[in-house]
Structure 1
Amino acid sequence: MRDSAAPEREIRPPSRVNAALIRTAGRAAAVFQRWPWYWKVLAIWALARLFSFAVLLAVAAQQGLNPWGWAGTPSYLQFIGAWDSEWYQRIFAGGYPGEIPRDATGRAQENQWAFYALFPAVVRALAAVTGLGWEILAPLAATAAGFAAALMMYRLFVLRASSAAALWGVLFVAVSPVSPILQIPYAESLNLLLLSASLYLLVTRRYLAAVPVVLLMCLSRPVGVAFALMMGILFLRRWMLRKQAAFPRAEVLQMGILTAASGIGALAWPALAWACTGDMRSYTDTETAWRGDTLLLFQPWIVEAERLFGSVMGPVALLILLALTAACLLSEPVRRLGVEMQVWCAAYVLYLLAFLNPLTSTFRLLLPLFPLGLALASLSGSRAYRTAVALAFLVLQIVWVAWLWRWTPLPGGGDYPP
């Protein structure tokens, strides 16, 4: 009768090459652990940006006919200078129009007022000092702002989590599917720096120090409405709970000043556009020029849901999306972020639902929800889980660049915007 026991498999020692790789990896990990936190953060961010650089170069090599007139394979700087980078370059070179361009029916045409002034102003200041041009300085400024944002994010994350979890949170943001935008001449990296600094000062209750940072943030990207909403909610919450938790008069005044400054900052860019053009609706009309209609709160989400899933299933799909979003924002990992970051994420989601026309650019506009990177890292302490998430993000990063940054003309003309 044959023995049913399976024969023992011979366990072979690792080859010399594998053993050497294991030893090298172990030494590198040991050295990394001894580094101060800022070197760890900068190393993580640098490796992520190198990966994005390689992805952008590889996809650029596949770029065919395009509206930018590149002859042959575009260079890295040419490739990242496409899309909205062109609008920022126009602002850098010539500023904003004195009146809103309109067609024969009075509808606003696409123009520079849709893009906030801080990023091109920073690049112009650097050009005045260095004598270099937009093509060099804009990517350098965007990339440098991204490195500074990484340091600020870690300081914010470590207020609510361990150092290891904070590093993983920064890593998830660094390799997120839309993270190549953080080295492209867009305002996203500068806004991320100012937003993370604003949240850090808010969490540490340095309200007056946050005022100038918030005002600058409101001139970098349209996040001021969401920030003002968050501040209003937090102020009312502190006031209503003042009997359970002390709310000293000095703190009431300082938090009130920051709340008021946030509201002023939220209105600053539309007011500036009005003052410069004499047209009260210059900013809102310009923003809606890309969608081809007027500003109607929440409606674009309903229209897009019905277009994708039909008049019956569209609203159902939208309700499911809202339910999943609410469940995420109320989950334990998000609650562990602290009330400030939790309310920020909720306020920004509400802002997107109210004002955004959901297109492929929605993926990029989710970047201000970066605190969810820490929540994702806190979901499990398993290294296998965290590594799998990071690898999935790297793959999706390739998908985002190849699908949206690369120009691929649609049958009806144009392409999906990144």
Structure 2
Amino acid sequence: MARWPWWTQVAGLYIAARLVSACIFMAAALHQGVNPWFPAKPDYWNFINIWDARWYAEALQTGYPVLLPTDGAGTVQENTWAFYPLFPILGRVLSGLTGTGPAWSLTAIAMVSGLGAALVAYRIFRHRASHRTALWGTVFLATFPVAAVLQVPYAESLNLLLLGSALLLVMERRYLWAMPVVVLMCLSRPTGVPFAAMMGLLFLYRLWQRFTEQRLKTQQPAKPDLATQHVPTQHRDGVAVHSNAQLWSLGGLTAVSGISALLWPAIAWAVTGDPGAYTKTETAWRGDDLVPFKPWFDAGIMLFGPNLGVLAPFVFVAAFTLLMMSRPVVALGTELRLWCCCYMGYLLVFLHPQTSTFRMLLPLFPLALSAALLSRSRAYRGAVVVMFFLLQIVWIVWLWAWAQLPGGGDYPP
């Protein structure tokens, strides 16, 4: 494959990873017993069209309710407002063009988007590493324990494609081109808030770079030595300083990101007349109201007891901070590191940690390159891939396949 074009190499490796995941799905389906959706031992296509795939299919077919469904006490119940509209809209368009059902259309979009996300991820990684290392980083992404979700009718693959495209355009300073991509990304999954936070911090950082550069320029002697003359187009860290036009474009993208992050909750408000329609729907799966940070402490106490459990979130934050300061992660550059920090911060503030948390770590995909940068050893890199595939088996058998718990229901993937 070394003589093939880069996109052929990436596509070949990604498709191979998805075939392995398909084999794991089919093997798990042979052991699937009684479940809420279909008879035991379903075929592959029925097996991957469960869980949230049914919600996306419902959004495709019936849209979103004007009146929020509530129980006798007036508490909002689970409904399609929790599922962002871009994925089902594209599925409806494809179904209309091809005459196929929702399951096939959504699956096709997910699979094509996953391939596109892998190609974009390689382009991002190539900015920070050699071809071979970037290719290994893409392989790590394609084989990640929850990467099997990229081939099922979930919006993860579409969101990953749009998120990666937005990050690539930001890294290449094509801020105006990134604006429509960010709007679409914010309508695919709830990644708009951390992206807007990243853009705001990045804008302030670039503004500070420009300010310090201008200050150093004014402090230069009238006739500097040519050997030590300061280059005004470069900052002290070796990164080219933004021009006025680039700063204006970056500021515009920051504003667009902030507005787009609130677009779907605003649409839910406008349609239902309830300003909290989106958040009430999201918390319907939790069973309680949204309180920032609290679910992490609750999960810590449940797992480690009343004493160590309170400390667990702080230990986690400290460990993640050390990870962000490690050499392989520093090599990612400002934009990717800032994205990882903002996204993890978003999860800490708003996420209710449970089994779906593993799936929600996919937007941290730049760390796949850090894992590849950790060592050039083929034994290490091959062992990571094997470990990831083994963990895919665990994820699919434990979480995707349905096995009713003693108290009813099952852990969601």
Q: TM-score range by the shorter chain?
A: over 0.9
Match of 1:278 among 273, 276, 289: 273
State the 1:316 CA deviation: 2.1
Matches within 5 A, 1:280-359: 280-359=275-354
Identify the residue that residue 169 of structure 1 maps to in structure 2.
137
Identify the residue that residue 88 of structure 1 maps to in structure 2.
56
Identify the residue that residue 398 of structure 1 maps to in structure 2.
393
SS at match of 2:262: helix
How many aligned positions are there?
386
Asked if the contact 2:297–2:312 (Cα under 8 Å) also holds between the matched residues in 1, the reply is: no
What is the one-letter code of the residue matched to 1:352?
L
Cα displacement string for residues 15-59 of structure 1 (whole angstroms, at most 9, x for unaligned residues): xxxxxxxxxxxxxxxxx1111101100010010000000000000
Identify the residue that residue 269 of structure 1 maps to in structure 2.
264
Matches within 5 A, 1:183-332: 183-242=151-210, 243-244=212-213, 245=235, 246-332=241-327
4+ aligned runs moved over 4 Å, structure 1: none
- Partners of 1:172 and 1:57 lie apart in 2 by 22
Q: How high is the TM-score relative to the length of structure 1?
A: 0.91
Unpaired segments ≥5 residues, structure 2: 214-234, 236-240
Asked if the contact 2:95–2:105 (Cα under 8 Å) also holds between the matched residues in 1, the reply is: yes
Matches within 5 A, 1:121-160: 121-160=89-128
Match of 1:65 among 27, 31, 34: 34
Match of 1:181 among 141, 149, 161: 149
State the 1:65 CA deviation: 1.1
What is the one-letter code of the residue matched to 2:56?
Y
Cα displacement string for residues 256-287 of structure 1 (whole angstroms, at most 9, x for unaligned residues): 01000000110001000001101000000100
- Asked if residue 371 in structure 1 is aligned to residue 366 in structure 2, the reply is yes
What is the one-letter code of the residue matched to 2:253?
L
- Partners of 1:254 and 1:229 lie apart in 2 by 16
Deviates more, 1:393-402 or 1:245-254: 245-254
State the 1:129 CA deviation: 1.1
Report sequence identity in percent.
52
Deviates more, 1:309-318 or 1:231-240: 309-318
SS at match of 2:355: coil
- Partners of 1:252 and 1:46 lie apart in 2 by 40
- Partners of 1:306 and 1:95 lie apart in 2 by 39
Cα displacement string for residues 344-367 of structure 1 (whole angstroms, at most 9, x for unaligned residues): 000000000000000000000000
Match of 2:14 among 45, 54, 68: 45
Unpaired segments ≥5 residues, structure 1: 1-31
- Partners of 2:132 and 2:260 lie apart in 1 by 35
Q: How high is the TM-score relative to the length of structure 2?
A: 0.92
- Partners of 2:208 and 2:244 lie apart in 1 by 14
State the 1:331 CA deviation: 1.1
State the 1:248 CA deviation: 2.0
SS at match of 2:309: helix
CA-based RMSD: 0.8
**Rg (Cα) greater in structure:** 1
Asked if the contact 2:29–2:43 (Cα under 8 Å) also holds between the matched residues in 1, the reply is: yes
SS at match of 1:412: coil
State the 1:135 CA deviation: 2.2
Cα displacement string for residues 353-390 of structure 1 (whole angstroms, at most 9, x for unaligned residues): 00000000000000000000001000111111100111
- Partners of 2:359 and 2:93 lie apart in 1 by 27
- Partners of 2:209 and 2:117 lie apart in 1 by 33
State the 1:330 CA deviation: 1.6
What is the one-letter code of the residue matched to 2:266?
A
Identify the residue that residue 228 of structure 2 maps to in structure 1.
none
SS at match of 1:220: coil
What is the one-letter code of the residue matched to 1:154?
Y
